[in-house]
Amino acid sequence: MGGKKEKIILTGLRPTGALHIGNYFGALLPFVKMQETADKFFLMVADLHALTTLEDSKNLGQNSLSLAMAFVASGIDLKKSVIFVQSQIPQHSELAIALSMITPVPMLELNPTYKEMREEHPKNNNLGLLAYPILQASDILIYKSTEVPVGKDQSPHIEIAREIARKFNNRFGNVFPEPKTILQKEAKIFSLQEPSQKMSKSHGEKTYIALFDSPDIIREKIKIAVTDSGREIKYDEKNKPAISNLLTIYGLFEEKPIKEIEKEFEGKTYAEFKKDLAEIIIKGLAPLQKKYKELEKKPAHIKSVLEDGAKKAEKIASQTMLEVRQKIGLI
Ligand code: ADP
Ligand code: TRP
pLDDT at 308: 98
* Predicted confidence (pLDDT) per residue in 190-204, tens digit: 999 999 999 999 899
Instruction: Supply the residue whose CA is at minimum distance from atom 9 of ligand 1.
Output: 23
pLDDT in tens, the chain (331 residues): 446 789 999 999 999 988 999 999 999 999 999 999 999 999 999 999 999 999 889 999 999 999 999 999 999 999 999 999 999 999 999 999 999 999 999 999 999 999 999 998 888 889 999 999 999 999 999 999 999 999 888 999 999 999 999 999 999 999 999 999 999 877 689 999 999 999 999 899 999 999 999 999 999 999 999 999 999 999 999 999 999 999 999 999 999 999 999 999 999 999 999 999 999 999 999 999 999 999 999 999 999 999 999 999 999 999 999 999 999 999 9
- Strand order in 180-183's β-sheet? 81-85, 40-45, 8-13, 147-150, 180-183
pLDDT at 331: 93
Q: Check: CB of residue 27 under 8 Å from CB of residue 189.
A: no
- Domain coordinates of the chain in residue numbers? 8-188+299-328, 201-294
Instruction: Supply the residue whose CA is at minimum distance from atom 6 of ligand 1.
Output: 200
How many angstroms separate the Cα of 39 from the Cα of each of 3, 154, 184?
13, 23, 20
Ligand nearest to the CA of 249: 1
Q: Residue 46: CB within 6 Å of ligand 2?
A: yes
Atom from ligand 2 closest to the CA of residue 135: 9
* Predicted confidence (pLDDT) per residue in 146-182, tens digit: 999 998 889 999 999 999 999 999 999 999 999 999 9
Ligand nearest to the CA of 20: 1
Q: Count other Cβ atoms within 10 Å, centred on residue 186.
A: 9
Query: Which of 14, 117, 141, 198 most suits a substitution to test ligand 2, by most atoms within 8 Å of the C-beta?
Result: 14
Query: Which of 10, 19, 20, 23 most suits a substitution to test ligand 1, by most atoms within 8 Å of the C-beta?
Result: 23
Cα–Cα distance, 239 to 304 (Å, whole number): 50
Cα of 167 to ligand 2 centre, how many Å? 21
Ligand nearest to the CA of 51: 2
Angle 275-277-283 from CA coordinates, rounded to 5°: 110
The CATH number given to 201-294 is 1.10.240.10
Structure letter (DSSP) for residue 20: B
SS3 for 10? strand
Instruction: Supply the residue whose CA is at minimum distance from atom 1 of ligand 1.
Output: 200
pLDDT at 125: 86
Q: Count other Cβ atoms within 10 Å, centred on residue 55.
A: 7
pLDDT at 123: 85
SS3 content of the chain, % helix, strand, coil (to 5): 60, 10, 30
The whole model's pTM is what? Answer: 0.95
> Which of 227, 283, 228, 234 has its CA nearest to residue 258?
234
CATH for 8-188+299-328 (3.40.50.620, 3.40.640.10, 3.90.1530.10, 3.30.420.40): 3.40.50.620
Atom from ligand 1 closest to the CA of residue 23: 12
